[in-house]
Structure 1
């Protein structure tokens, strides 16, 4: 199955949706000079093909004491990276999991309120996974910039 590429109209629709996912199809159509039906069908196709997902995103800047916990994971055997990353991604509180190149094998990110919650999270979720050699954790506590659109499809 080949990956479908987004054309210019798809990209323009996504620019509107990335700024405000509640914008009406009629307004997008008027701005782009196309029909409302075209906008509706393209959004539906992109959703059906899992190219986009329209969802609410928590504004991290409005949370009381947000701390992003960056959990760097080193595994025992490189052959276990896929399986351990999959286990980490199954943890509901985990917002991001990626296989990495460099010093660590996996980066996992979650949101915590304080170091006590982080400690509980690490002991109850991370330390129970077999094959993890060690972890190193960093906390993001002052957010200079948080652009939720960073996860937008870029083509």
Structure 2
């Protein structure tokens, strides 16, 4: 069953979700399998699109980007979501975009160095995107948790 995910795959995922840089030999030890098994199963999960890569988790405030902002975006017409999302993807400060249900059509996470930087991106770039009817902005005061689901 090469295209199915089983309990061992979930164990490997949980270990890598906790530390994406963990060597396969260490993952294998903790999972109770061979490094070759970890390699083969990880490749399978990448081929299935389950694992999309490994990323760094940055503390933006420690490198001078002191603001995390969430934007609830209202569209002029709901059919414009693809066009607006493509425009938002071009903004380097935007790090997450969700096409959503509920009050907002699109929900965005972005980072800025300070309030002036945010204002410039917001006024000069985001508000000029065709299709946006309005935006509600939320400033994060502090992030208290960021994690993946552990499957074991």
Alignment of 1:28-107 (within 5 A): 28-52=27-51, 53-60=53-60, 62-64=62-64, 66-107=66-107
By how many angstroms is 1:136 displaced?
1.6
Encode CA deviations 1:39-68: one digit per residue, 9 max, x unaligned: 011112222333211122213464445321
Looking at structure 2, the residues matched to 77 and 65 of structure 1 have their Cα atoms a distance apart, in angstroms, of 33
Distance 2:31 2:8 in 1: 8
Distance 1:11 1:37, change over 3 A: same
Structure 2: unaligned runs, 5 residues or longer: none
In the superposition, the TM-score normalised over structure 1's length comes to 0.83
Distance 1:6 1:93, change over 3 A: farther
> Alpha carbon RMSD of aligned pairs, Å?
2.2
Query: For 1:6-46, what per-residue CA distance to the aligned partner results, in whole angstroms no more than 9, with x for missing partners?
Result: 32111111111122222221122122221110101111222
2:136 counterpart residue number: 136
Matched, 1:123 2:113: no
Shifted more, 119-128 versus 42-51: the winner is 42-51
CA contact (8 A) 1:70 1:107 kept: yes
CA distance in 1, matches of 2:4, 2:109: 29
